[in-house]
Amino acid sequence: MKNKRNVLYSLLIMLAGVANFAVEAQQKNDAQVTVETKEAFNSHVPNGIVRTIKQDTKGNIWITSWEGVFKYDGKSFTNVTSKVSSARFFSVLEDRKGNFWFASIGSGVYYYDGKSFQNFTTKDGLANDVVTTIYEDKAGTIWFGTGNGASRYDGKSFRNFKMKEMPPAAQSDSVPVSVYQHPLPDQVAWMHNDVNAIVADKRGKLWFGTRGYVYVYDGKEFTPVTNNGKSFANVRSIIKDKKGNIWLGGYDGLWRYDGSTFTNFTQDFVGYIYEDKKGTIWTSSGKDSNNLGWTLSRYEEKTLFDKKPTVTTIANKPMIFGILGDDKGNIWFGALDGVYRYDGKTITDFKRKEGQQ
């Protein structure tokens, strides 16, 4: 069964460049739906693709997966969305008011106040129902990265943005392995509006990582980010570290920008970047996004400005996705077959742990 999942996900990755993923068959609701969640949810460990892991202000771990959104309270897992939607979920955000937002592939976004859900789709003004990232800016405005641009939600309505005015994706379009050395061909120019990551820098400007290039938005216009005249391609993850540096991870490897200079750490594909409380940088990486041989790597904080930083491989998996450092110092990461936790010595596979109980 595991091999079948790996083959299936490899096919999904090959089609990842297509902006319009197939909409889930179950999405037959109206544009805006509220579902009361009075019934107790079935509890089991996620054993499929896990994309993003976050910890809320109460210490709970939230996990978005192809099986739904799971909440882990330290003792058991609860599939929070099992009674609401069978969508494939990609990302989660707890906003400053304590409410949650879940991004899905094909079914838009879901707002959850702890009691009920509200679904927002293109019928409500969302740019696209394929949503992969969610970000809250300093003003409390929620941004969504979609397959057709970015959407900004002010609590009342959506406003949509495009990095470039381009036609939508065609089914025949393909994803370049790397375009750092080459311009993006016109036939895949729609990728500039397929948003993977959003983050604000120390100046308050927003950085957008797309399947095309990286852009900085100053509130008026989008400017491509370049290094010696070359653009960064298909950036999947962007973070701002504690010192205000911007980190980029994607098809062109792992890069750090200190406000004036870009520094490259690896040319391997980097799918996710995370900074822990100590300032250590964690990444998930592979030779390219289709290579089923990824590593969870740790870049020691004290060596990040050395010519050769100290890098330690913590885990090897066919693919590794979202990374989280919890309030107890554990590192969580997602994979093709569920969620894992590393305590500094041992990696816990929750599926096996559940089977032993």
Q: How far is CA 171 from CA 185, 188, 190, in A?
A: 16, 11, 12
Q: How many residues does the chain have?
A: 357
Q: What is the predicted pLDDT for the residue at 289?
A: 61
pLDDT in tens, 220-245: 999 999 999 999 989 999 999 999 99
Which long-range contacts does 216-221 make (Cβ < 8 Å, 24+ apart)?
217/161
| H or E element that contains 10 | helix 2-14
3-state secondary structure of 322: strand
Number of C-beta neighbours around residue 177 at 10 A:
12
Q: What is the predicted pLDDT for the residue at 164?
A: 76
Q: 48 and 337 in contact (C-beta within 8 Å)?
A: yes
What single string gives the DSSP state of each residue in 231-295?
Answer: E--SEEEEEE-TTS-EEEEETTEEEEE-SS-EEEEE-SEEEEEEE-TTS-EEEEEESSTT-S-EE
All structural domains of the chain, each given as residue ranges with its CATH number in brackets, are 2-356 (2.130.10.10)
Q: What is the predicted pLDDT for the residue at 38?
A: 36
Please tell me the pTM assigned to this model: 0.84
Amino acid, res. 25: A
pLDDT in tens, the chain (357 residues): 444 444 344 444 433 333 333 333 333 233 333 333 333 344 588 999 999 999 999 999 999 999 999 999 999 999 999 999 999 999 999 999 999 999 999 999 999 999 999 999 999 999 999 999 999 999 999 999 999 999 999 999 999 999 876 555 444 334 443 433 445 555 566 788 999 999 999 999 999 999 999 999 999 999 999 999 999 989 999 999 999 999 999 999 999 999 999 999 999 999 999 999 999 999 999 876 666 789 999 999 999 999 999 999 999 999 999 999 999 999 999 999 999 999 999 999 988 765 333
Q: What is the predicted pLDDT for the residue at 351?
A: 84
Per-residue exposure over 113-126, b if at least 16 CB sit within 10 Å of its own CB, e if not: eeeebebbbbebeb
